[in-house]
Every structure is written in structure tokens, then in C-alpha cells.
């Protein structure tokens, strides 16, 4: 089965297609099926926003759609940027948002910079059935970026489990422990449980 990814982010596509291919699912971007949907993420949770995005793209394409809504929650900032991670500070680049995050944490000492990435996955089929899952990954925000891989806040997110930042990790290493990797594995189980007759 082909799933349309409700995202224009090729990084997310790469992270998702490796894992979903295990179910024989092929993931394509909206642009590959001629759909360009701008969904207003009005939900207050990652799960709500993932469902909003997947449902909108399913309706526009007539095909099964999958969405990931994800973000970074920093304890010292009361869980910010959270669902606003992609729009943090109303800034328009990963570098600017990361610099803004580091600026907001300037006075926060090492040991108090705990954070987690959270990912909610939602898939909506044309008959209205949904499959959802969630995953998270614990880490700490460094004082300066490290590494060149990945995207978003990866260079400042240090993962004790890996001994490096997400941006220093190879794609497979990141997938093995990341919020999205974990959400996708939970999604595999939920899919098999709910749709095994398909």
C-alpha cells in the first residue's frame, strides 16, 4: 500500500520510509501525488496535530495518508517549544530557532537542561479508519551545536544513550532511539493489530 506523507520535509520521509518498508508500505511525499495542503496546526497536542494533518492530506489526495507531528520539550522552559517547535520565536530557519533556544537557556546550568523529543504518528485511511502511535526520546540541550547530520534542533540535542548529539549520529543510530523511530515501531504494532486482515 502507498501512504502519502503529510509533510514537505524530506528528512522525515527518509526516517519514516526505512521503518515503514518493513510493513510493505511505500511512503511518498505530497508533492509526488500532486497535493499541496497547508494545514493549520491548531491542535494543542502532537497527537491532535498529527491527525489534523493526516486527515487533510487523505481528503485532498483520496489516498491513505500518514503524518508525524513532533517537537522538542525543554523542562527548564516549561515544556516549550513543544507543539510550536517548527515556529519557535516566529523564526524561519532551523539555525535561527536553535540559536533562540540556546539564548533562552543561557542562564540554565548543565544538569538542569533536560529535554525530550516527542513524536505522534497518525495514519488515516480513505474509509476513515485511523492508526495512531507515539514515541519519545530523552536528552539534554547543549550550550553549542555539535554535528552536521539531521535537521531542526538535532545539533544541540545530546542523547546520553548514544553518547552524542542527534546531529553527530548516523541515520540508523538516530532511528534506533529517536522519538520518531520509537513512534514508528509502536505504529508498526498498532497497524498489525488493527489492520492485520488487510
Q: Among residues 62 and 161, whose Cβ is nearest to ligand IMP?
A: 161
Q: Does 151 sit near ligand IMP (CB under 6 A)?
A: yes
CB of 68 to ligand IMP, least distance (A): 6
| Binding of residue 100 to ligand IMP (CB under 6 A) | no
Q: What is the dihedral of CA 37, 43, 44, 46, to 10 degrees?
A: -60
Binding mask 119-148 for ligand IMP (x = CB under 6 A): ------------------------------
Q: Which residues are part of the catalytic machinery? A: 69
- Give yes or no for residue 69 binding ligand IMP (CB under 6 A): yes
Is 34 known as a binding-site position? no
Contacting residue, 61, 70, 134, 175, with ligand IMP by CB under 6 A:
70
Using CB under 6 A as the criterion, which residues of the chain lie in contact with ligand IMP when the complex forms?
9, 41, 68-72, 85-86, 117, 150-154, 166, 178, 180
Amino acid at each position: 500500500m502507498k501512504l502519502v506523507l503529510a509533510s514537505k520535509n524530506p528528512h522525515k520521509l527518509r526516517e519514516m520510509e526505512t521503518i515503514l518498508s518493513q510493513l510493505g508500505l511505500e511512503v511518498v511525499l505530497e508533492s509526488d501525488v500532486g497535493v499541496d495542503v497547508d494545514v493549520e496546526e491548531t491542535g494543542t497536542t502532537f497527537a491532535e496535530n498529527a491527525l489534523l494533518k493526516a486527515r487533510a492530506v487523505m481528503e485532498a489526495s483520496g489516498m491513505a495518508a500518514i503524518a508525524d507531528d513532533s517537537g522538542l520539550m525543554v523542562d527548564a522552559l516549561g515544556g516549550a517549544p513543544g507543539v510550536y517547535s517548527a515556529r519557535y520565536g516566529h523564526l524561519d530557519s532551523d539555525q535561527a530557532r536553535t540559536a533562540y533556544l540556546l539564548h533562552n537557556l543561557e542562564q540554565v546550568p548543565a544538569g538542569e537542561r533536560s529535554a525530550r523529543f516527542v513524536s505522534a504518528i497518525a495514519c488515516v485511511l480513505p474509509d476513515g479508519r485511523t492508526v495512531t502511535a507515539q514515541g519519545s526520546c530523552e536528552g539534554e540541550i547543549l550550550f553549542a551545536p555539535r554535528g552536521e547530520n539531521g535537521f531542526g534542533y538535532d545539533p544541540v540535542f545530546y542523547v546520553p544513550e548514544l553518547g552524542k548529539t542527534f546531529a553527530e549520529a548516523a541515520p540508523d543510530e538516530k532511528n534506533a532511539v529517536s522519538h520518531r523511530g520509537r513512534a514508528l515501531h509502536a505504529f508498526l504494532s498498532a497497524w498489525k493489530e488493527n489492520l492485520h486482515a488487510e
